[in-house]
Amino acid sequence: MDLMEAIKAHVAWKVRLERYVSGDRSENLDPTIICQDDQCMLGKWIYGEGKTYEALPNFSEMKNDHAAFHQCAADIVQKCDDGNIPEAEALLQKDYNRISQRVKNSLAKLGIHLIQEK
């Protein structure tokens, strides 16, 4: 698992969501899919090969943060789809930014643990 690629992928979500909130609907974002934390590269790793690292101190935190990230992203898209742009913007600027930072920090910590294991 390339944790840097996972971090980049999660950073890219902010751009996608900012576009969606600003009215650019050229990309079809489906909140019922986005909320599934086991569909992206990192999620597939967490629920697959990554299970071998469940005992690491930070794994559970990272898994929970990742699930919260997906739920928050889905909530933002749903609010946009419902026409509630101000709430979507508020979620994006506050909760999403906080959760996204936690995911990136968790992945960095996990990467340190994985390096130390080798």
The CATH number linked to 59 is 1.20.120
Specify the number of domains making up the chain: 1
The domain of 64 spans 3-117
Query: Distance (Å, rounded) from C-alpha 97 to C-alpha 67?
Result: 14
* Segment 58-71 mean pLDDT: 92
- Does 93 score more than 70 pLDDT? yes
For the stretch 100-118, pLDDT in tens is: 999 888 888 887 777 776 6
State the pTM of this model: 0.89
In this prediction, residue 56 carries a pLDDT of 84
In this prediction, residue 25 carries a pLDDT of 87
Tokens found for residue 21: 């909130």
In this prediction, residue 118 carries a pLDDT of 62
Q: Please give the share of the chain, as a percent, with pLDDT higher than 70.
A: 97
